[in-house]
Structure 1
């Protein structure tokens, strides 16, 4: 997303179905990040489904940076192993 002093927008409509991280510009000049699976990309609107099940519609014109990220690893059974002192 950030390479050599500049933000890079790397996802395309062909990434529908893949997990991505998208940084969008906010009206106040700040940024926020959205991570999830691209459900659709049509008419300049990208729909991203977050892990909690909520869907976020992002105007393509507000995307400052984006990239495909690895899938969420499956949870281990039984939780974390106990720490040894």
Structure 2
């Protein structure tokens, strides 16, 4: 069984691969280190540079440094809004 540090390195490598291969407009969730914890950015990939990705979230654009990325994966589109009850 891999050591925890090896697992973290593997998860990070997979996450960076997801971000590298994603097309602008793909819906993703990206988890990144933030202070003593982590934060998630859920939305569409708006831009990518050599050092950051920008995710358009409900709250606006969220620029995530690639050095802080711990995990990333594609996610399905959001559910359709519910119809109001009669």
CA distance in 1, matches of 2:79, 2:57: 15
- Larger Cα-atom Rg: 1
Correspondence for 1:31: 38
User: Please, what is the CA RMSD of the aligned residues?
Assistant: 2.1
List structure 1 segments (4+ residues) > 4 angstroms apart after TM superposition: none
TM-score by length of 1: 0.72
**Gap runs ≥5 in structure 2:** none
Correspondence for 1:17: 25
Structure whose residues are more often helix by fraction: 2
Deviation of the 1:51 alpha carbon: 2.1
- Equivalent pairs, count: 74
TM-score by length of 2: 0.72
**Gap runs ≥5 in structure 1:** none
